[in-house]
Amino acid sequence: MATWDPKKGVLYHEFNKFNKERSLREVDKPNLLRNIFPYSEVPKVDFDFAMNPINPARNFLMTDTTFRDGQQARPPFSVEQISRLFDFLHRMSGPRGIIRQSEFFLYTKKDREAVERCQAKNYQYPMITGWIRAQKKDLTNVRAVGLTETGILTSVSDYHIFLKMGLDRKKAFDKYTDMVRATLEKGIVPRCHFEDVTRADIYGFCVPLAQKLMEIREQSGTDIRIRLCDTMGFGVTYPGAALPRSVPKLIRAFIDDANVPEDLLEWHGHNDFHKGLVNAVFAWLYGCSSVNGTLLGIGERTGNTPLEALMIEYMSLRGMSDGLDTLAITEMAEYFQKELGHPIPDNYPLLGKAFNATSAGVHADGVLKNEEIYNIFDTTKILGRPPVVNITDKSGLAGIAHWVNSKIESEERVDKSHPAISKIYDIIIEQYDKGRVTAMSDKEMMALVKRYLPELFISDWDRMKLIGREMAFKIVERFVETAEMQSGVSKTMETAMMHFLKRYPFIQYCYVADMEGKKITENITDITERAKYMEFKDKEDFSDRPWFIKPVKDGKIHVVGPFTSRITGALCITVSALIRDKKEKMIGVFGADIRLEELIKVENELMEEHGMEFTEKDIRELTRKYRNE
């Protein structure tokens, strides 16, 4: 019974003779604990004032239910999507398998196909497990895909036993123990999910059931796991809070009174009252070895405990990463957003667009001087997310300068005293003076910076030229490694070059010189232009040409130009590369003059052919690559 204690100012949990009873307590009607769960009011928290010291589990582990509980709150994943997400779980888990297990539905053909696809990866971790109802016929699905462990729905509150299942406590008790024995007979490890444990009679049903399961474990010689499911998120961590809502007391009741080993105990929480993460961490701290979660916390209603948050808490509490791959967290979130269309709120911790962003000018000025002042940790190193500044009327000159320096890679940083920064600031303030209430978008900011700081950008034409040069580089790189070119036989190489020119008609002229710089092939060009190249005779000496000298000196492929061809008047680049025979001996230099404008027209087709895309970062790297050519 919970009664108001006027001296302490909280509800007091009155003890009765049943408080520590450890045998099944049968009741004629469901005990819905109306004194703390009145339904027409917000649930109550009562206190017995008993304090439990923390007693951390020896090992902190995580388990995943993204493909079971997580899927219940969103459109189903495809098999390919499950496969990709399972790869992320494996990477995030690290070599020690901190994310130890991942559970799957097994009921549909697609469910089973997803399991088989993930099994084929042969990852040690996460171990693949199933989830079934407490029905013996469901064990067939577990056996069909060769799983060695499965979760079993084991509802423990009277809400579920009486109101949902239409049973009484004794019938539910017998049903669950019978199901566990049947599971063991099939050679499968049972994991009993104590559903709705934070609204259950802990000592009148849960502890006796757990004791019986541990007895069956001793008899069978096979482990039986227990997952404590805070189905409605009622768990609390307040010191002195009473059962069944106290997470610390729940954990200790199962370890100390039901004799469940800590490595066989697991916590599964929901976030209905914003307590999903803290409840999971307290489960670790009071002896529960494993806590269950999902990627991004997706799940029924308000979701589950986010695995990525658990990873950060693990590192904080253990003082080390133990191989957890935190960079994979960011990549996983990007996959959710781009491939699955799953929106992540801007202010979502660790992953939202604004999680390490500041808008206030005084904060931005601090970040400019030392990012530690307003950044939670080195988010660039740990999550691959540099701190950013959101631009509003409060950002100031420092904020705008920081935005420019963080978004645009340049040889020199732009100082807040730069005149262009003042011009951009004036335009922004003018918008807010006219009533704007939203932050400046990246698109808007980029347009302003391009207008007032054009020297920081590569023009569209220069961008196309860079991509054209890189694509020419790639096709020549591939061509000189063909068997025909490695043969060193002039006629064989000429035939290969004619096919090469036919495939890529933007090639104006190609040729091969030996290691002395003497041309050893015919002039390979389009028949309509062959007469123009008659001046280049057999054994023509090219040893003084840059396109020949550079590859001979360093063995690399070089792109020279652009320049205007004196033969055709077209804007061209010359790509040259060493030719090596099968024994890696240098036997000559291949050169090709390429009409740049015609190449640019088919850039997209070439990129698709070579499986390439070019981001802004790639363009900056190409700028550095070709700067000295």
- Whether residue 288 has pLDDT greater than 90: yes
Q: What distance in Å separates the CA atoms of residue 432 and residue 421, rounded to the nearest whole number? A: 17
Determine contact, residues 229/195, Cβ cutoff 8 Å: yes
Domain for residue 136, yes or no?
A: yes
Whether the predicted pLDDT of 34 surpasses 70 = yes
Write b or e for each residue in 460-497: b if 16 or more Cβ atoms lie within 10 A of its Cβ, otherwise e.
eeebbbbbbbbbbbbbbeebbeeebbbbbebeebbebb
Q: Assess if residue 596 is contained within a domain.
A: yes
DSSP secondary structure code for residue 160 in this structure: I
Asked if residue 247 and residue 222 are part of one domain, the reply reads yes
Confidence of residue 606 (pLDDT cuts 50, 70, 90): confident
Whether residue 250 is found in the same domain as residue 366: no
- Among residues 405, 477, 458, 408, the alpha carbon closest in space to that of 622 is found at 458
Whether the Cβ atoms of residue 356 and residue 387 lie closer than 8 Å to each other: yes
Tell whether 310 is covered by a domain.
Answer: yes
Token pair in block for residue 517: 């710089």
- Model pLDDT for residues 312-344, shown as the tens digit of each residue: 999 999 999 999 999 999 999 999 999 999 999
Residue 527 — pLDDT band, cuts 50, 70, 90? confident
The two most distant CA atoms of the chain are separated, in Å, by 111
Query: Would you place residue 214 in the very low, low, confident or very high pLDDT band (cuts 50, 70, 90)?
Result: very high
Q: Residue 366's pLDDT is what?
A: 65
How far, in Å, CA of 258 to CA of 116, rounded? 36
Tell me whether residue 277 is in a domain. yes
Is 443 in the same domain as 470?
no
The yes-or-no verdict on residue 156 having pLDDT over 70 is: yes
Residue-wise pLDDT tens digits, 255-268: 999 999 999 999 99
What was the pLDDT predicted at 294?
98
For the chain, how many residues are written?
Answer: 629
Check pLDDT > 60 for residue 628. no
Last residue of a domain, one of 456, 480, 512: 456
Q: Would you tell me the crossing angle of helices 307-318 and 327-338 to the nearest 10 degrees?
A: 170
Q: Is the pLDDT of residue 433 over 60?
A: yes
Measured from the Cβ of residue 511, the count of other Cβ atoms closer than 10 Å reads 26
When pLDDT is cut at 50, 70 and 90, the band that residue 469 belongs to is confident
Q: What is the CA radius of gyration of the chain?
A: 34
* Least confident span in 149-163, 257-271, 398-412, 427-441: 398-412
In total, how many domains does the chain have? 3
Is it the case that residue 364 has pLDDT exceeding 60?
no
Task: Confirm whether pTM is higher than 0.85.
Answer: no
Would you state the pLDDT for residue 360? 60
Q: 484 and 375, same structural domain?
A: no
DSSP character for 518?
Answer: B
Mean pLDDT of 26-44: 96
Distance between CA atoms of 271 and 231, rounded to whole angstroms? 9
Confidence of residue 18 (pLDDT cuts 50, 70, 90): very low
Report which of residues 321 and 527 the model is more confident about: 321
Q: Which of 504, 496, 524, 406 is nearest to 456 (CA)?
A: 406
**Looking at 91-95, 356-360, 476-480, which range is the least confident one?**
356-360
What is the pLDDT, as a whole number, of residue 172?
98
CATH number for the domain that contains residue 569: 3.30.450.20
**Claim to verify: residue 35 and residue 71 sit in the same structural domain:** yes
Q: What residue type is assigned to position 440 of the chain?
A: M
Cis peptide before 345 (omega within 30 of 0): no
- Assess whether pLDDT exceeds 70 at residue 619: no
Of 258, 236, 259, residue with least CA distance to 247: 236
Angle at 518 between CA 512 and CA 522, to 5 degrees: 45
CA angle 301, 303, 308 (to 5 degrees): 170
430 shares its domain with 472? no
Is residue 28 located within the same domain as residue 140?
yes
Contact call for residues 131 and 106 (beta carbons, < 8 A): yes
> Tokens in use for 83?
């496969």
In the block, residue with structure tokens 């291949």 = 590
* Percent above pLDDT 90 for the chain: 65
Per-residue pLDDT, 19: 54
Task: State whether 92 and 237 are in the same domain.
Answer: yes
* Residues whose CB is less than 8 angstroms from the CB of residue 447 and which lie 6 or more positions away in sequence, other chains included: none
38's tokens = 């009145």
Greater model confidence, 228 or 437: 228
Contacts of 388 (CB under 8 A, 6+ apart): 354, 356, 357, 358, 403, 406, 407
Q: Which residue has the higher pLDDT, 557 or 225?
A: 225
Tokens of 247: 């997470």
**What average pLDDT does range 42-68 have in this prediction?**
96
Asked if the structure places residue 342 within a domain, the reply is: no
Question: Of 427, 456, 485, which closes a domain?
Answer: 456
- CA pair distance 160, 199, nearest whole angstrom: 10
Residue 12 and residue 44 in contact, taking contact as beta carbons nearer than 8 Å:
no
- CB contact at 8 A, 131 and 103: yes
pLDDT given for residue 448 in this prediction: 94
Same domain, residue pair 398 and 269: no
pLDDT of residue 163: 97
DSSP 508-547: EEEEEE-TTSBB-S--EE-GGGGGGGTTS-TT-B-TTSHH
Based on the fold, state whether residues 144 and 235 are members of the same structural domain. yes
Answer whether residue 446 shows pLDDT above 60: yes
Task: Give me the mean pLDDT over the 537-545 stretch.
Answer: 84
Between residues 629 and 287, which one has the greater pLDDT? 287
Residues 442 and 470 in one domain: no
Is residue 198 in some structural domain?
A: yes
Q: Tell me: pLDDT of 623 over 70.
A: no
Range of the domain at 467: 461-626
pLDDT of residue 17: 46
Q: Do 594 and 562 contact (CB within 8 A), yes or no?
A: no
Average of per-residue pLDDT across 8-30: 77
Tell me which of 275, 306, 324 is where a domain ends.
324
List alpha helices for 186-230, DSSP H. Answer: 207-220
For CA atoms 456, 462, 464, 467, the dihedral sign is negative
Same domain? For 468 and 431 the reply is no
User: What is d(CA 384, CA 131) in angstroms, rounded to the nearest whole number?
Assistant: 35
**Is a pLDDT exceeding 90 seen at residue 70?**
yes
Instruction: Kindly report each contact of residues 579-585 with a partner whose C-beta sits within 8 Å and lies 24 or more positions away, as own/partner.
Output: 579/480, 579/485, 579/486, 579/488, 579/512, 580/480, 580/486, 581/486, 581/487, 581/488, 582/486
Residue 350 belongs to a domain:
no
pLDDT at 112 over 80: yes
DSSP characters for 53-111? -----SS-EEEE-TTTTGGGGSSPPPHHHHHHHHHHHHHHHTTTTSEEEEEE--SSHHH
Token digits for 466? 């860079």
Q: Would the pLDDT of 23 be above 80?
A: yes
Can you give the pLDDT at residue 367?
61
pLDDT score for 599? 83
Average pLDDT over residues 222-248: 97
CATH code of residue 202: 3.20.20.70
**Does residue 190 form part of some domain?**
yes
Sign of CA dihedral 549, 554, 555, 559: negative
